[in-house]
């Protein structure tokens, strides 16, 4: 088993949402997303994987399918394979997410 402190991976970019990898296995990947005020991840889909967004800190507007919801720390959203999803930070404050996807689409 390995251990990580996700706080050491939190770095924001003034230009766009910043993704920082925590770990990858053939079955799963985990990233920390640092989403500045006004930044977003455009809605998209992954046909062969389930994606999970867990809010560590802040507030974001999450789209899954045709639905949008505002989530805060401790809440999560997930998209099944092929389901459109994305996130937007409309709060004016920093948003930090733990994002996982399984199976790992980066492994062929």
Report the pLDDT value the prediction gives residue 108, as an integer from 0 to 100: 65
Bridge-based pairing of strands 40-44 and 18-24 is: unpaired
pLDDT tens across 51-92, in order? 999 999 999 999 999 999 999 999 999 999 999 999 999 999
Q: Is the pLDDT of residue 104 over 70?
A: yes
Report the pLDDT value the prediction gives residue 105, as an integer from 0 to 100: 84
**CATH superfamily entry for domain 17-102:** Jelly Rolls (2.60.120.10)
Q: Is the pLDDT of residue 100 over 80?
A: yes
Contacts 24+ apart (CB under 8 A), 68-74: none
Q: Output the pTM of the full model.
A: 0.94
């Amino acid at each position: 088993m390995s251990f990580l402190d996700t706080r050491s991976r939190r770095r924001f970019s003034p230009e766009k949402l910043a993704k920082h990898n925590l770990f990858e296995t053939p079955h799963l990947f985990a990233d920390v997303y640092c989403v500045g005020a006004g930044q977003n991840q455009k809605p998209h889909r992954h046909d062969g994987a389930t994606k999970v967004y867990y809010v560590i800190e802040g507030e974001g507007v999450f789209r899954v399918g045709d639905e949008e919801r505002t989530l805060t720390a401790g809440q999560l959203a997930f998209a099944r394979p092929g389901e459109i999803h994305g996130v937007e930070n409309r709060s004016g404050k920093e948003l930090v997410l733990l994002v996982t996807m399984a199976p790992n689409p980066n492994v062929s």
